[in-house]
Amino acid sequence: MLNIVIFGPPGSGKGTQSENLIKEYNLAHISTGDLLRKEINTNTELGALAKSYIDKGELVPDEVIINMIDSYLDRMGRVNGVIFDGFPRTVAQAGALRDLLKTYKTKINVCLNLEVPNDELMKRLIERGKTSGRSDDNEETIAKRLATYEKQTKPVLDFYKKEGVAANIKGIGEISAIFDDIKAAVDAKK
């Protein structure tokens, strides 16, 4: 299997580049943010819980997210590999993912770290907010999400550096040029 973590702050292009990766490598895609928004839109209990965190720019508790990933993998069936988008968001989640993948006798091959400066992220997300309909794409919540990323999510990168699978990708410029760098990094690790 080819398992990829697409990593980076909100607005760094994880969703966009996931779409390119799916086509290029024929992979399954798990976006935990999309899964949570689906729960919100269908008014489930999990959705209500998730919304209370998302609207504050905070993280949904590890246990909830890990359970969601566990059941997703369980139902997934046979695939070439998986792109994890927006997960893991904490070091605890990264450890849990490693343990889960072990039970499938597989592992993360590469963690792609999309690097984009904060002022550019803020610009992109405010622009996206005009059409995304996302309750968290407003200046105040974006600032909180960026702070949450720095504090709780960035340490995940050290986890993958220690595993020898982290690759830094410059996340500004043409989408297709960024994807060329991504392909080179994936092909070097797969």
| 15 binding Mg ion? (CB under 5 A) | yes
**Closest-approach residue to Mg ion (CB):** 15
Residue pair 21/111 in contact (Cβ under 8 Å)? The answer is no
| 36 binding ligand C5P? (CB under 6 A) | yes
Query: How far is 9 from 178, CA to CA, in rounded Å?
Result: 16
Q: Which residue has the tokens 């997300």?
A: 125
Considering only residues 55 to 114 of the shown chain, the ones binding ligand C5P according to CB under 6 A are 57-60, 65, 86-87, 89
Of the candidates 134, 144, 183, 189, the residue annotated as catalytic is 134
Applying CB under 6 A, what is the total number of residues that bind ligand C5P? Answer: 16
**Closest-approach residue to ligand C5P (CB):** 33
| 47 binding Mg ion? (CB under 5 A) | no
| 124 binding ligand C5P? (CB under 6 A) | no
Q: Which helix (H) or strand (E) holds 188?
A: helix 175-189
Query: How far is 2 from 112, CA to CA, in rounded Å?
Result: 13
Catalytic status, residue 75: no
Q: Which residues contact 35 (CB under 8 A, 6 or more apart)?
A: 68, 72
Catalytic status, residue 89: yes
Is the sign of the CA dihedral 13, 64, 154, 107 positive or negative? negative
Residue pair 116/172 in contact (Cβ under 8 Å)? The answer is yes
Nearer to ligand C5P, 85 or 181 (CB): 85
Query: How far apart are CB 28 and ligand C5P at their closest, in Å?
Result: 17
Known catalytic residues are 14, 89, 128, 134, 145
Can you give the binding site for Mg ion, defined by CB under 5 A? 15, 33
